[in-house]
Chain A
Amino acid sequence: DARVTQTPRHKVTEMGQEVTMRCQPILGHNTVFWYRQTMMQGLELLAYFRNRAPLDDSGMPKDRFSAEMPDATLATLKIQPSEPRDSAVYFCASGFQGRNTEAFFGQGTRLTVV
């Protein structure tokens, strides 16, 4: 049963520290999304990659957030420096554009910045 894997599941950090969240997409998927989930805003798209190239990162605060795919099996989302308002659940999802398939979500990383 192929699944999107995210690490860590939970992260508590102090304001100002760097945070790195990792995602392993389902093998063979060519599209990766990063979403942030908050009570107020629901699910917001932060970044979107196809074949490892960033297609849309307009939803991401550029001054502190960065998203990369160093290889096809790993996507990262970094926050530096982190702030309390970044506290949220960050979801990664993967899919295959071209096959009309759904997006499969990871279990999320619950980030708390104190």
Chain B
Amino acid sequence: AQRVTQPEKLLSVFKGAPVELKCNYSYSGSPELFWYVQYSRQRLQLLLRHISRESIKGFTADLNKGETSFHLKKPFAQEEDSAMYYCALRDSGAGSYQLTFGKGTKLSVIP
């Protein structure tokens, strides 16, 4: 069974400090990993996915298959980054499109 673990429920950092939101997964197949973000009382929206290898809003995430991790990083946090962040996994093989989410980490950036 696939599982996504986000060990931190809440992460508080000062503005300008580096941010790392942790995500570990367990899955025996070939996973696709995503980060979704939910700003206050808004819908979830895709932040980035590992296959794109891009930086969105200054955030990056590298899939580490050896450590089964997909941590989200940003070198300098901004107040507008305060939100809920969800790591998600999808089986990239045929037959499934189901997204499994972690429980989320609430990021609070202190001015």
- With A48-B98, A102-B34, A103-B99 already in contact, the answer to whether A42 and B43 are too (CB < 8 A) is no
Q: Is B97 within 8 A of A43, CB to CB?
A: no
| List of B residues within 8 angstroms of A42 by Cβ | 86, 101-104
Does A97 touch B at the CB level, under 8 Å?
Answer: yes
Mark interface residues in A48-63 (1 if CB within 8 Å of B CB, else 0): 1010000110000000
Q: How many A-B residue pairs have CB under 8 A?
A: 45
Q: Hey, which chain A residues are within 8 Å of B98, CB to CB?
A: 33, 45, 48, 55-56
- The verdict on A90 contacting chain B, using a C-beta distance below 8 Å, is no
In the complex, are the beta carbons of B104 and A43 less than 8 A apart? yes
Residues of A within 8 Å of B99, CB to CB, are 33, 45, 93, 103
Q: Determine which residue in A35, A45, A91, A102 has the highest number of CB atoms from chain B within 10 A of its CB, and name it.
A: A102
Q: Who on chain A is nearest to B44 by CB? A: A105
Contact A105 B86 (CB under 8 A): no
Once the chains are docked, how many angstroms separate the CA of A50 from the CA of B94? 13
Q: Which of A43, A56, A102 has the most CB of B within 10 A?
A: A43
Please report whether the interface of chain A is mostly helix, strand, loop or mixed according to DSSP.
strand
A interface vs B, CB < 8 Å? 4, 31, 33, 35, 41-43, 45, 48, 50, 55-56, 91, 93, 95, 97, 100, 102-103, 105-108
- Given A31-B97, A42-B104, 8 further pairs, Cβ under 8 A: A33-B98, A35-B101, A42-B101, A42-B103, A45-B98, A95-B97, A107-B42, A108-B43
| Chain B residues within 8 Å of A, Cβ to Cβ | 34, 36, 42-46, 49, 51, 86, 97-104
A-B contact list, 23 entries, CB within 8 Å: A33-B98, A33-B99, A35-B101, A41-B103, A42-B86, A42-B101, A42-B103, A43-B44, A43-B103, A43-B104, A45-B98, A45-B100, A48-B97, A48-B98, A93-B44, A97-B97, A100-B51, A102-B34, A102-B46, A103-B46, A103-B99, A105-B36, A107-B43
Closest 3 CB pairs of A and B: A42-B103, A97-B97, A43-B101
